[in-house]
Structure 1
Amino acid sequence: MTTNPYAGSPFGYAAEPAVGPYSIVELMPGVRNLLDYAGVAAGERVLLLMEHTVDPVVVQAVAAAAALRDADVRILSVPPFSAGGWDRQASLRIETAAFHEADVVISGTWWGEVHTAPLFFDQIKSRTARWLSLHMTATAGALMTGGRLPAEVFYALLRRALRQLSPARTIRMTSGGGTDVTFSGLTFDPDPGAMRPGDWRPFPYGGANFWPDDTEGVIVIEDSTVTGVPEEPVTLTLEGNQVRKIEGGVAAEHLRRYAPEGYYMRHALLGLNPKVRVSGGTQFEREKHAGSFYCGIDGLTGGMPVTTGPGFAHCDCQFDRPTVLVDGELFIEKGRLLMLDDPEIRQVAERFGPPEMILDDNPVMVLPRRHTGAARTA
């Protein structure tokens, strides 16, 4: 029997299953955490920038919860965004104008608004809005799983991770598929704390993001933005932080066509959220799962890396069960984030319920709503 490797690679929200109206009840713990993370307050102008194909129950849940906080809510339904500037001539004047008038933007886009120049990071940072992105995660499944982890637990994991990661000289990632790549010259996103004007954050919260000055080694793609799960191995050879060679079958040619000028390594992320699902999750959910790893190669501009704007060919490569060494010390072992067993982390988790439940990284189990942050145990 043959299988279609692209079957598990949905192209957008239109390919995601809808949920029943009553499931809105089960979305609310995740939506509460979302609004707490964004710091939505009474009287603020909140823009829900949602693609036409987002499940209406998800939109209703977020809008109703924001309205309950007495926020001034607007819902703008927009066409799906294209990946990596595929449709560079698309007009985003309406989206941009609405964004400029908002205090908080909650976006439900599949490919992420940051793939476009008018809504790229530099534009977000130049405004006063706080931007929370549900990049591939404006789904009931994402809100019921990763969205349920209490923010305090995530922050504890992030702080603990950054203590070890920030001073590191090298991060080496290997996988069962043959990947063996080393990153150096590392710059990490700091612990962000409360959202501030000009901030962009993903939700569900998920990982420790970094930018390398140098990347050396081989990446064997298991799942990526451009290829999905390739039919035959696609191998990237990196030297001096640039992709020097792309080898493989049809998927390799797709990847070369996507960025004719070539690629460089833009950033990478180590997943920290144990409640993010792997089973049934999109690529940008699974990247946040505790013990996962992904790295983003971006298109060269004029043959050079340009980090101040979109490369218009961003391709993320996902690894669900990697092994990660930080300066030679095990950090993730075959998809298991070792710090989940740290007594410091377990003490924080215990405020919300049994630590063995809060921190369990089973990729299919849903956290009961009583442990999601509303009512803390004594």
Structure 2
Amino acid sequence: MTINPYAGSPSSYVSEPAAAPYSIVELMPGVRNLCEYVRLVPGERVLLLMEHTVDPVVVQAIAAGAAFRGADVRILSVAPFSAGGWDRDAPLQIETAAFHEADVVISGTWWGEVHTAPLFFDQIKSRSSRFLSLHMTATAGALLTGGRLPAEVFYALLRRALRQLSGAGRIRVTSGPGTDVTFSGLTFDPDPGALRPGDWRPFPYGGANFWPADTEGVITIEDSTVTGVPEEPVRLTLEGNLVRKIEGGSGAERLRRYAPEGFYMRHGLIGLNPKVRIAGGTQFEREKHAGAFYCGIDGLTGGEPVTTGPGFAHCDCQMDRPTVTVDGELFIEQGRLLLLDEPEIQEVAARFGPPEVVLDDNPVMILPRRYAGLPA
């Protein structure tokens, strides 16, 4: 059996520890950053779309932060969403109607609204709402850690990363457990900053997202939507951007069952947020940690990749401590994002506090609140 330090990470909001009521005070720096990120202004209609199992302290913190800014806040408690279209015919008329009437939607779901057709990206982009997703991150831990990083620091990192990544021909990802995969034909999400009408973004802000035209090599799953942390290594062999082989005991069988028609590589993400948790964090927190990497394989539809709608079998695969090269140049070394040491990044971080504190990627050290968003 594979021993992995993240094997005890939560599997739903039910398994997340509850926050003490007074901890709402410590969540407010992250909530302040959240409200600024969605460009919240007085009088806007804000919908908090929260699963029944989200910690009430987290819901209260976000609602209070939005109300303090003069927003008209509504809280809709909904049944948990299922992963990958497992319950694709679930009626979501109430959720959809409420979304259509909101200026801002703050969604606290575990598997993410992007797994459902009525709230898929094409539907979000067709509306004027600004949609912020706390996908597995509607937790006190996420607001207390990754949510505290000032947006200006994250976007300095993202702009610097995209200068190097956008023109790249190939990205190679390797890891200790055995991943060795190369992506090419890359299209990057430019992510221009705070939300605009029709935008969908995750929070805490996390990384550089891309879509490859071709993927070649082997991925060894360390954690995934379908397998969790597998009991024995699960290996995916990719050729021509398609998953050609899945190996590895019961985890491999569960993956094959999840998408009987097969998988293709839909997207990847390079983590850039040094304050996001690793130990004890959910998969969708850890993916955002500076120096982490994850990629999403999606189910084929009629034997073909279809990117305009949900694949209904989306499976994200996490790598916590990879090494990443960009056209042969080292970009991440065994989980250490090298951009954190660059002078231009240090200069931006210094506006908020000591750069060695603001940019420290120790995943268990919480950023002091005085450095969490207001320039020093």
TM range (shorter): over 0.9
Which position in structure 2 is the counterpart of 1:244?
Answer: 244
String of CA shifts for 1:170-206, please: whole Å, max 9, x gaps: 0000000110000000000003223110000000000
From the superposition, tell whether residues 4 and 179 of structure 1 become closer, same or farther in structure 2 (CA, over 3 Å): closer
CA positional deviation for 1:10: 2.6
Instruction: Say if 2:2 and 2:233, in contact at 8 Å, map to a contact too.
Output: no
CA positional deviation for 1:279: 1.2
Which position in structure 2 is the counterpart of 1:349?
Answer: 349
Number of paired residues? 376
Which position in structure 1 is the counterpart of 2:259?
Answer: 259
Which position in structure 1 is the counterpart of 2:8?
Answer: 8
Q: TM-score, normalised by structure 2?
A: 0.98
SS of 2:119's equivalent in the other structure is: coil
Q: Distance in 2 between matches of 1:294 and 1:7?
A: 17
From the superposition, tell whether residues 6 and 323 of structure 1 become closer, same or farther in structure 2 (CA, over 3 Å): closer
CA positional deviation for 1:54: 0.1
SS of 1:197's equivalent in the other structure is: coil
Q: Which runs of no fewer than 5 residues in structure 1 stay unpaired?
A: none
Which position in structure 2 is the counterpart of 1:27?
Answer: 27
1:135 counterpart = 2:135: yes
CA positional deviation for 1:148: 0.2
CA positional deviation for 1:3: 7.2
Instruction: Say if 1:6 and 1:230, in contact at 8 Å, map to a contact too.
Output: no
Which position in structure 2 is the counterpart of 1:113?
Answer: 113
Task: Quote the RMSD (CA, aligned, Å).
Answer: 1.3
CA positional deviation for 1:11: 2.5
Instruction: Say if 2:10 and 2:281, in contact at 8 Å, map to a contact too.
Output: no
Between 1:123-132 and 1:8-17, the stretch displaced more is: 8-17
Instruction: Say if 2:262 and 2:303, in contact at 8 Å, map to a contact too.
Output: yes
Q: Distance in 1 between matches of 2:373 and 2:97?
A: 35
Which position in structure 2 is the counterpart of 1:358?
Answer: 358
Pairs within 5 Å for 1:74-223:
74-223=74-223
Q: Distance in 2 between matches of 1:26 and 1:215?
A: 42
Percent sequence identity is 84
Which position in structure 1 is the counterpart of 2:301?
Answer: 301
Which position in structure 2 is the counterpart of 1:59?
Answer: 59
- Matched residue type, 2:88: R
Instruction: Say if 1:261 and 1:299, in contact at 8 Å, map to a contact too.
Output: yes
Which position in structure 1 is the counterpart of 2:371?
Answer: 371
- Matched residue type, 1:160: R
Instruction: Say if 1:9 and 1:228, in contact at 8 Å, map to a contact too.
Output: no
- Matched residue type, 2:89: Q
- Matched residue type, 2:118: P
Q: Distance in 2 between matches of 1:86 and 1:301?
A: 15
String of CA shifts for 1:273-305, please: whole Å, max 9, x gaps: 000010110000000000000000000000000
Which position in structure 1 is the counterpart of 2:18?
Answer: 18
CA positional deviation for 1:12: 1.1
Instruction: Say if 2:2 and 2:232, in contact at 8 Å, map to a contact too.
Output: no
Q: TM-score, normalised by structure 1?
A: 0.98
Instruction: Say if 1:150 and 1:372, in contact at 8 Å, map to a contact too.
Output: yes
CA positional deviation for 1:8: 1.8
SS of 1:49's equivalent in the other structure is: strand
Instruction: Say if 1:48 and 1:105, in contact at 8 Å, map to a contact too.
Output: yes
String of CA shifts for 1:349-377, please: whole Å, max 9, x gaps: 00000000000000111000000012x22
- Matched residue type, 1:161: A
SS of 1:332's equivalent in the other structure is: strand
SS of 2:110's equivalent in the other structure is: coil
CA positional deviation for 1:9: 4.3
Q: Distance in 1 between matches of 2:345 and 2:26?
A: 26
From the superposition, tell whether residues 249 and 195 of structure 1 become closer, same or farther in structure 2 (CA, over 3 Å): same
- Matched residue type, 1:166: S
Instruction: Say if 2:5 and 2:279, in contact at 8 Å, map to a contact too.
Output: no
SS of 2:224's equivalent in the other structure is: coil
Q: Distance in 1 between matches of 2:21 and 2:312?
A: 37
- Matched residue type, 2:57: V
String of CA shifts for 1:250-274, please: whole Å, max 9, x gaps: 1100010000000000000000000
Between 1:264-273 and 1:187-196, the stretch displaced more is: 187-196
Which position in structure 1 is the counterpart of 2:313?
Answer: 313
Which position in structure 2 is the counterpart of 1:228?
Answer: 228
String of CA shifts for 1:116-141, please: whole Å, max 9, x gaps: 00000000000000000000000000
String of CA shifts for 1:42-69, please: whole Å, max 9, x gaps: 0000000000000000000000110011
String of CA shifts for 1:93-121, please: whole Å, max 9, x gaps: 00000000000000000000000000000
Instruction: Say if 2:9 and 2:281, in contact at 8 Å, map to a contact too.
Output: no
Which position in structure 1 is the counterpart of 2:40?
Answer: 40
From the superposition, tell whether residues 2 and 244 of structure 1 become closer, same or farther in structure 2 (CA, over 3 Å): closer
SS of 1:237's equivalent in the other structure is: strand
Q: Distance in 2 between matches of 1:5 and 1:277?
A: 13
- Matched residue type, 2:277: R
From the superposition, tell whether residues 200 and 222 of structure 1 become closer, same or farther in structure 2 (CA, over 3 Å): same
From the superposition, tell whether residues 250 and 9 of structure 1 become closer, same or farther in structure 2 (CA, over 3 Å): farther
- Matched residue type, 2:11: F
Instruction: Say if 2:166 and 2:186, in contact at 8 Å, map to a contact too.
Output: yes
- Matched residue type, 1:183: F
Q: Distance in 1 between matches of 2:177 and 2:183?
A: 18
CA positional deviation for 1:2: 9.9
Instruction: Say if 1:5 and 1:231, in contact at 8 Å, map to a contact too.
Output: no
